[in-house]
Structure 1
């Protein structure tokens, strides 16, 4: 039989370990969320974001390697990653997928501008319009990732729904 103070210390350790879980179920409130300290706990998963970012960069590179449709292929690669994560994931992860697609495409737009134009002209162009170029890339990448994720979740819902 355990003492009452020993049970309390075990519960607090369990609460701490449960709070470290990065991909926690949104439907089960934790002790922190009851107090209001974990408001964003179920909204953003760092682990899912990092996986989505690495896969989005990979999809962007693979899609951009297609010779004729390289520029459009980048966005198809990002959308394919969002579709895949929507299809295999158990939760909605629109924030992570959208942010990963935005970062990947924004960086790709800036880097492709920097390396595709004569160097002094590219530096001048990026100094004047770099924020707009990155913004267009980020918005396009986020949109591609979100659309892909939406259709992946929609297909998963259609495949798993009772007829």
Structure 2
């Protein structure tokens, strides 16, 4: 693409000095010109650093996907705990939700599913055993163990879901 430049000469009102201004019109013609200029300009290091950091953070952890994973995980945990009245049955729901996310999502999103599994299982343990947790003095270890189990189950579910997705989409 061509680099169109317009040069103007203006006279300032009282001093009689000439003022040279140069305008680049390539940003309207080439949408990538602003990105090239940002990368090449070392003075704009803070803006470049911020954009790179935001891009990498988005690649590692996406809040929208986490919220969706948390809602699906809590729903699955509640459903399995309601219909299967056994202790620890909610972990099957956490596994099912993580498996679903692993099978549906194209990107690897372990952080979101593991955190949602840990929060859902830990919160469920607090709600299921509230009296024991509050008055028995085992509240924090109980939540830690349940959250750890939920995180492990969610990681395994995501792994198997991704494995199924890869197996279904891979050419033979």
Pick the structure with greater CA Rg.
2
Extract unaligned runs of 5+ from structure 2.
6-22, 36-46
- Distance in 2, matches of 1:147 and 1:32, equals 37
Residue 77 of structure 2, aligned match among 60, 82, 92: 60
Residue 134 of structure 1, aligned match among 131, 137, 143: 143
1:111 aligns with 2:122: no
User: Would you say the 8 A contact 2:126–2:133 is kept in 1?
Assistant: no
1:7 aligns with 2:27: yes
User: Would you say the 8 A contact 2:115–2:151 is kept in 1?
Assistant: yes
1:155 aligns with 2:164: yes
Residue 74 of structure 1, aligned match among 67, 90, 113: 90
Aligned to 1:90, the other structure's residue is in SS state: coil
- Distance in 2, matches of 1:55 and 1:162, equals 30
The alpha-carbon deviation at position 37 of structure 1 amounts to 3.0
Change (3 A) 1:122 1:83: closer
User: Would you say the 8 A contact 2:133–2:142 is kept in 1?
Assistant: no
Aligned position for 1:92: 108
More helix, by proportion: 1
- What's the Cα RMSD here? 2.9
Q: Which has the higher contact order (CA 8 A, sep 6+)?
A: 1
Residue 48 of structure 1, aligned match among 53, 65, 71: 65
The alpha-carbon deviation at position 81 of structure 1 amounts to 0.4
Aligned to 1:86, the other structure's residue is in SS state: helix
- Distance in 2, matches of 1:141 and 1:53, equals 12
Extract unaligned runs of 5+ from structure 1.
16-30
Change (3 A) 1:156 1:112: same
Give the count of matched residue pairs.
Answer: 138
- Distance in 2, matches of 1:159 and 1:134, equals 37
Change (3 A) 1:130 1:122: closer
Normalising by the residue count of structure 2, what TM-score does the alignment of the two structures yield?
0.69
